[in-house]
Amino acid sequence: MDTRGFIKGSHMNDLKKRRKQVLVVDDEGGMRQILAEYLNEFGYEVDSAVNGQEAMQKYKNGHFDIVLSDLVMSPMDGLELLGEIRKMDPDAIFIMMTGYPSLNSAMEAMKIGATDYVTKPFNIDEIRLKIDRVLLEQSLKGRLKNVQGIIWALVISIPVWLILGIILARLLK
C-alpha cells in the first residue's frame, strides 16, 4: 500500500489472479500427497479426499475450479462422483485418472462429462498441461461470451441510434 492507503497496480493484479482450487480425489494416500505437493508448487491451492463421498461433501461446502479424481474407489467411484458433480455444476472441470485403463471406462467417463482422462502412471507435467489447457479453454469460452454480448449490444444499439438521429434531424429542421 502507498501512504494514501490505495493498493498499487502490481498488487491489484495479484489480487485479481486468485489461485485456482483443485480437489484431488484418490484412495491411494501416496498419489494424493504427490499430486497435492506438485500442484501446490505449480501455484494451485489443493484439497484432497479419500473417496467420492468425502469429495462430494468437500465440493458441496467449498469452491473448486478443477476436480482430479481416480476412477476406481469405494464406496463411491469416480464415475458416480462425476455424475453427482455434473448434477450440481454442469460446467465443472473434471479430469478422471485411472490405473485400470480401458476403452469402455474412458468412453463412459467422457459420456458422463469428464473434461479429460489420464491413465496411471503418468508424468506430472502431463497433468499440469491438461489442467492448464482446460483452464485456458474455460477462460476463452468466458471471453467469447463477453465478446458475443458486446456484438449483440452493438447490433441492437446501432439502429436505435440511427432512429434517434433521424428524429433529432427532423426536429432541428
For 11-31, what is each residue's pLDDT tens digit?
334 434 678 899 999 999 999
Which cell goes with 159?
Answer: 439502429
CATH superfamily of domain region 9-144: Response regulator (3.40.50.2300)
pLDDT of 50 > 90? The answer is yes
- Sheet of 21-25: strand order equals 45-49, 21-25, 66-70, 93-98, 116-119
Q: Which stretch of 11-15, 77-81, 89-93, 156-160 has the lowest confidence by average pLDDT?
A: 11-15
Average pLDDT over the chain reads 83
Of 9-18, 26-35, 121-130, 146-155, the range with the highest mean pLDDT is: 26-35
What is the arithmetic mean of pLDDT over 53-68? 93
Which cell goes with 145?
Answer: 461470451
**Contacts made by residues 42-47, CB under 8 angstroms, sequence distance 24+:** 42/128, 43/19, 44/19, 44/20, 44/131, 45/19, 45/20, 45/21, 46/21, 46/22, 47/21, 47/22, 47/23
Q: How far is 25 from 70, CA to CA, in rounded Å?
A: 6
pLDDT of 3 > 60? The answer is no
Q: Where are the domains of the chain?
A: 9-144
Q: Is the pTM of this model over 0.75?
A: no
